Structure 1
């Protein structure tokens, strides 16, 4: 089954993303979505995700088809697939992670032609918030299986949706603490997850007041409980990495006041370092 699917998808790519006559677009889309979390990284990333996102960007789907696709991606068989029942290291995460990643080009397409209602946008936001609360697999890359990258992919989706005018300050203020919880964990982020999430944070910061940004940033000043548990060092390192990424992004935007706040927090955070 997957061998035949690969051959069909390779034909599409070799044909400059034009469908050969023997391939029906709706049928191949259905099969690609069914295999969105394939364990084979070549099939999952280089073929399925690449072709789906290219089709979306090229306008090959109608607005109704994109709405239907987005609705499907938010259900229990995609974004929430086995999220509360699978073990942390199980392969179900690929289905979740590549579902949230595919939301980004759909939302980006909406920014060009506004085909989603405000109700649709708020529903997507609420589902992303629910997903962010529940996802517990923070692996970046798995040997032989490729990228997992749940938080990086979630960051892409959050960045795309945050630019929607109907997303409110209250919604942003509800999401930011969840982002904090996902990054202050005792497992290291090794593959620039913080950079992808900082892009989303910068977009969300456009919705809230400076005082609210500062208040949230200070919550990254982790106060360790003792000096013997190396897990706390991992938490502190994750905090530092996100704050540093945010500092340089603020620096690029000439936001000197926010840079100074970030430097203050980083100085205080150094006092929590073991070495």
Structure 2
């Protein structure tokens, strides 16, 4: 079935993402959703993801169709597919990760011309928060299968929803500790996940007070429990990379005080390093 779907989708991409005459958009959408988590990197990333994104951006879908797509990807068969039962390095992450990556183009469409109700935006945010709390597969690029990149894709989705005026200060304050939890882990991030998440965090910072920004930044300072556990060195490294990414992004804009906070935190973090 995957090779047949490639045969259907490749000409669409090659023809500037034009839907062939006689091709039913709803049937095509169903087929793409069914294979959104394929381990075939060309089918999943270069065809299904790119066609979905381009079709959404170019207005091929009605608002009602976009709502239906959004509702589909937020359920247990997509965003939460096997999330609590996946074994390490199981392929289920691709379905979750590329489901979450459908949220940004839909949200961008909503921000340009609102069509989602306020409660629907809050529902997307709440599901993103639950997803962030539960995702345990932090692989970036997987040999022969391409990008999994769950945290980077989640970051893009968080940014896209946080940019909606419907998202409140309280919702941001609930999400920030979850982000901290996902980046202070004993698995190294190797593919600029922190850079993507910093973009989301800076968007969220627009909705909270200066003191609340500082309070959250201070949670990124990791205090080690032991000098004999190498896992803690990975956590410290993740913390350092996240704060450095934040610092250099803040060179542009009115962030002087926050940069000073980060400088102080990085000096303190240096004391936790093993060498």
CA distance in 2, matches of 1:205, 1:137: 27
Task: Give ranges in structure 1 of 5+ residues lacking alignment.
Answer: none
Alignment match, 2:42 = 42
Matches within 5 A, 1:178-257: 178-257=178-257
Matches within 5 A, 1:68-87: 68-87=68-87
CA distance in 2, matches of 1:90, 1:226: 31
Alignment match, 2:33 = 33
Matches within 5 A, 1:69-148: 69-148=69-148
Query: Following superposition, which runs of at least 4 residues in structure 1 exceed 2 angstroms of deviation?
Result: none
CA distance in 2, matches of 1:52, 1:268: 45
Alpha-carbon shift at residue 250 of structure 1 (Å): 1.1
Pick which of 184-193 and 247-256 moved more. Answer: 247-256
CA distance in 1, matches of 2:22, 2:146: 31
**Secondary structure at the residue paired with 2:250?**
helix
Alignment match, 2:54 = 54
Number of aligned residue pairs: 275
CA distance in 2, matches of 1:52, 1:164: 21
Alpha-carbon shift at residue 255 of structure 1 (Å): 1.2
Alpha-carbon shift at residue 88 of structure 1 (Å): 2.4
CA distance in 2, matches of 1:200, 1:253: 16
Alpha-carbon shift at residue 22 of structure 1 (Å): 3.8
- 1:140-184 CA distances to partner (integer Å, 9 max, x unpaired)? 111000101010000000000001111111110000000000000
CA distance in 1, matches of 2:258, 2:73: 36
Alignment match, 1:170 = 170
CA distance in 1, matches of 2:75, 2:157: 16
- 1:84-138 CA distances to partner (integer Å, 9 max, x unpaired)? 0111210000000000011111111111001111000000000000000000000
CA distance in 2, matches of 1:49, 1:180: 28
CA distance in 1, matches of 2:262, 2:117: 37
Alpha-carbon shift at residue 10 of structure 1 (Å): 0.6
Aligned-residue RMSD, C-alpha: 0.7
- 1:27-85 CA distances to partner (integer Å, 9 max, x unpaired)? 11110011000000000000000000000000100000001100101000000000001
CA distance in 1, matches of 2:216, 2:192: 21
CA distance in 1, matches of 2:68, 2:224: 46
**Secondary structure at the residue paired with 1:139?**
coil
CA distance in 1, matches of 2:88, 2:54: 31
CA distance in 2, matches of 1:41, 1:13: 15
What TM-score, normalized by structure 1, do the two folds share? 0.99
